[in-house]
Amino acid sequence: MTKWIKLHNDGEFDVVTAIGMLGASVKNCDDPIGLYGSGIKYAMAQALRQGISMKISDKGTLYTLTAVDTEFRGETFKNVSLKTKTGKIHKTGITTDFGKEDWNDSWFVFREFYSNCLDEGGTLEIVNGVQPSDSGVDVFLPYAEFKEIVDNIDDYFCPKDFKIKPGSGRVFKKGVWVGNLRKDPGLDFQNNTVEITETRTLNNYSAWRCLESRIECDADQEVLVALFNHPECWMEMSNLWLNGEPCNKHVHDALVEVFGSNYIICPDVDWIIKDAEEVYHRNPVLFPKDWNLPQNKVQTMNDLSQNIIFRDATPEEQKVIDRGIKALTWMNDVRRSDGLPYKLKIEDMNVRVLKTNENCGGLAKKGTPEIAINANVIEGDFTFFVETLMHESIHAISGEGDYTRGFAGYMERALAQLST
């Protein structure tokens, strides 16, 4: 026996009159899903186009959805109609062409009738054969056609108070799935202000803006972890605000969970990213530049530079520094690419001690004699200290940064000079 989906609503409802009134929407709830009085009509026309069987009963009187030919200006149209068991036809003014341009997904048919059922406080059950109720209104849809939807109903309908959770990019409005974002942000969410098309499917641009708003208002650590695991979607929300409640409570913990405790937020600048990895041994994270982050609760490259503290060398440290400078006096003979001498000499270096940030061996203010070397480096292996002092002195003398052609050129000329 054929299985049917039976959607039942209690109360009285003049089905014949209702299907012929386009734009009339009368619901017995405060926040109905359906508002326009057109969805059921679109769905019925679509069902006829796609050959989807449908039956409706009104207080036990059973009608079958059918189409009746109508001639108009030399052409034949098929009108959406209801036929009783006795063969009586109730023809509407709607043709089967209604919505043919874009009402083409069979999900639309189920969505309209089940949404109406929810608005009316109705029920859904799977039945063998068509069994009309003595009272109220029943809609019968073929189970085989909508099996995937009915068997996974929570993927298509959600509680109206649902806000956001890890998922696959599903978007809901008023408890009904209106589509998936083109890129999966790792989140499902609901927002009743998301714009929808004539087919009641999402406007992608509007959906991303609504997701931004939902994250800003309702994101916990689990939500942020899902977002941070989908960097391909970050630019879709380029102005995300994570600096308010409750996001700023969870951003750091979520970053640690996804990127590890050594994460560091960097601007998209090549040398800063390389410094984060090579100098600070941190895992660089590149967010869109306009994301607003809780500055006191996340680790940034700017924080590292602000937290660097210098001190003068102790007498013992100064002995090591002087010894290192003496070992590097050969640098005074290195010439610029134009053959002229550099203005600064190795003896000009003002070497101070870096007493914080153990990950950093040394720092230099390019083009000036100001250098800082980590205390641990000064106290450690002398050869490594000289390597560090030489590296930072090249920055100071040449005015070049790491990873530049000028920095490498200085070393090339120095090596060539030493070999002749």
Task: State yes or no: pLDDT of 279 exceeds 80.
Answer: no
Q: Work out the mean pLDDT of the chain and round it to a whole number.
A: 89
**pLDDT on residue 214:** 95
Nearest alpha-carbon partner for 348 in 407, 392, 403: 392
Distance CA 235, CA 212 (A): 11
Lowest-pLDDT range, 20-24, 146-150, 307-311, 399-403? 20-24
**pLDDT on residue 343:** 92
Quick one: what percent of the chain has pLDDT higher than 90?
62
Q: Which long-range contacts (CB under 8 A, 24 or more apart) does 244-250 make?
A: 244/216, 246/218, 246/219, 246/220, 247/215, 247/216, 247/219, 247/294, 248/294, 248/297, 250/219, 250/220, 250/221, 250/224
Position 216, amino acid: E
Task: State yes or no: pLDDT of 282 exceeds 80.
Answer: yes
Lowest-pLDDT range, 45-49, 268-272, 305-309? 305-309
Q: What is the mean pLDDT of residues 165-189?
A: 97
Q: What is the mean pLDDT of residues 231-243?
A: 94
Tens digits of per-residue pLDDT, 101-123? 999 999 999 999 999 899 888 99
User: What three-state secondary structure class fits 224?
Assistant: helix
Could you tell me the pLDDT band of residue 275, with boundaries at 50, 70 and 90?
Answer: confident
Place of tokens 């070992």: 327
Task: State yes or no: pLDDT of 300 exceeds 70.
Answer: yes
* Overall residue count recorded for the chain in this entry: 420
Task: State yes or no: pLDDT of 24 exceeds 50.
Answer: no
Q: What is the mean pLDDT of residues 193-215?
A: 95
User: What three-state secondary structure class fits 8?
Assistant: strand
